[in-house]
Amino acid sequence: MQLLKFEYYYSNKNCIFVSQKQDNKNMNKEKVLLDCWNKLYPNTSTDKLEGFIKELSNIKLEVKFKSHENEWYKDAIVYSLYVDLFNKNFQGIEEKLDYLSDLGVNCLWLLPILDSPMRDAGFDISDYRKIRPEILGTSASSSDEEKKEVFVKFLESAHKKGIKVIFDIALNHTSDQHFWFKESRKSEDNPFRNYYIWNKNKDLYKETRLLFEGMEPSNWEKDGEWYYFHRFFSFQPDLNYKNPDILLEMSRNILYWLKLGVDGFRADAIPYIWKEDGTTCENLPQNHVIVRFFRAVLDIVRPHTLLLAEACQKPKEVVKYFGDNDECNAGYHFPLMPQMFKSIAMQNKEPILLTLSPEITPEIPKNSQWFTFLRCHDELSLELVYVSEEDRKYIHENYCKNPKWDFRLGQGISARLAELFDRDERKIALAYSIMLTLPGTPVIYYGDEFGKLNDETYYKEMIKMTGKDDTRFLVRGKIDWEKLKINMENPNSFSYKVFDKLSRQIKTRKKYKCFGRGKIEWVNLIDDKEKPINEILSYLRIYKNEKLLIINNLSSEKKVISLEDLININDEKDIMGQKIQFTKNHNQLIINPYAYLWIKITNNLTP
């Protein structure tokens, strides 16, 4: 009966959103919304959905922006930052757009900017339609419209520089200071009670793992005579997506920012959205239905808007969030990050090769993309979801060089990239060479481009403010631009050396489509005694008429590579202008410790 009613609704000539000119693609997407609704809420009327689809049609008319270029995110260099920590407020970021352009960035990922008590760096959202006043740089008397204009102006400035903007939106939970939750806790019959998950005891969801082990004792928090459910901190109650109002309200929250010009969204914590008793409450089928709904909403209003999956899972699970090119456009490759660190510590390519093998990393849909990173806003994650006990132990022993860096009882390491690599610009550049040339879209964490160190002062300030000893605060902290300016004027400074190497890599990468779109073929290089060099990670990146040979020396020693019967390199420099060293007879290549070469290939190469 619901489906028949809905088909009649579409055929009603009086409906303002239906016309002969309506895009067939939109009609198909609207059918997707109906299909998702019926799967999630089979015994619920479609009245609310019908009203929501009317809204979508009207919003599409309001949006003044053109559709994005298809798969634009494959050619992106993403830079993630906290607005206030990067440079105070949005005006501060505008002042640094030239700096970011000079680095080679063409996409900004704004870490949480929405209104929040800031007990979890802004991931505890108290209002999805407002930006925190302190990062807007407006006065207390400014109107909501004036505040909105500040953000719109920033977006326009970034877009003029060719820089797209995406930001975080927590879909799984809110702050306990959100209006919905404040109302929810008032009484059992409050209209917002069902926006969250309440129970009189802790008997539900017993199989659900504790994500913040060592920081939270339980996934249930007592509130009066009742308990509410949470996957993260106790001040972040989980939303109840079994209530269809939540699905629609969260869609409206996304659309609000889409109308202002935001180019994409990082969907935070999506593996945990749907809860079902008797399960682990992770990666349930309903999660994919919900994500498919969000994707259809975005595609109706502004096609090719990025929906990025933050699914801290094994690749075989993350791939499922791409769907059949109808869920997320892209997802983070979490397991690759720790294995890059392991390979460098071991001076052996095998951990990376294994991680990117089909057994670990399945093929993804043609339009989809992995996002890769060395560091992000959190710890060097070593969750057993995608890291073995053996790997966790090895990486922890090699990189947790200060007991204070330990996070969640060995499940991670809270340290900046420069700290993890002993403030050695060679190792930092090598790690970036690997990340920037392997398949995927790279993400650079603010400050890492000049070797920012752990911030002890900020760490202590945040413990005092939040009451939580969260060592992830060590990897945040403010940029001292005056000090950086002095360092960047000195070619011998650590900051200058790191920035110079990374900016060269980024600018070079942007000239070649093969890095973001091409295939990879592994190359096994041998020494002068015809023995494999496991310390050398080498591969071809190929796209159309582009073919590049990448050579990364993971070793602390100089290596000699035999070129006989393999390749004939005539160039004296690689594509970054680095000198290529040969032996006298020119049949062997010499590569220094922790060095890398990106070489253009014009002849045949046998992997």
What is the set of active-site residues? 268, 310
In whole angstroms, give the CA distance from residue 352 to residue 554: 11
Q: Are 598 and 509 in contact (CB under 8 A)?
A: no
Q: How far is CA 246 from CA 47, 126, 174, in A?
A: 15, 15, 12
Q: Are 517 and 543 in contact (CB under 8 A)?
A: yes
In whole angstroms, give the CA distance from residue 273 to residue 367: 24
Specify the 3-state DSSP secondary structure of 454.
Answer: coil
DSSP secondary structure of 288-313: HHHHHHHHHHHHHHSTT-EEEE---S
User: Which residues in 37-194 belong to E strands, given as ranges?
Assistant: 78-81, 107-110, 114-115, 127-131, 164-170
Report residue 546 CA to chain centroid gap: 28
| Phi/psi at 287 (5° precision) | -55, -45
Helical (H) or strand (E) element with 158: helix 144-160
In whole angstroms, give the CA distance from residue 385 to residue 367: 26
Task: Give the torsion sign (CA, 274, 278, 283, 287).
Answer: negative
In whole angstroms, give the CA distance from residue 547 to residue 514: 8
Work out the angle between the directed axes of helices 336-346 and 425-437 (0-180°, nearest 10). Answer: 130
- Residue 510: name the closest of 601, 436, 426 by CA: 436
In whole angstroms, give the CA distance from residue 458 to residue 461: 5
Residue 542: count of CB within 10 angstroms of its CB: 16
Q: Could you identify the residue written with the tokens 């096609």?
A: 303
Q: Beta strand pairing status for 226-229 and 198-199?
A: antiparallel
> Six-digit token pair at 496?
């200058």
| Residues 432/435/436/439 CA torsion (nearest 10 deg) | 170
Greatest C-alpha distance within the chain: 85
Q: Are 392 and 384 in contact (CB under 8 A)?
A: yes
In whole angstroms, give the CA distance from residue 590 to residue 56: 60
| Phi/psi at 370 (5° precision) | -85, 145
> Six-digit token pair at 511?
């000239």
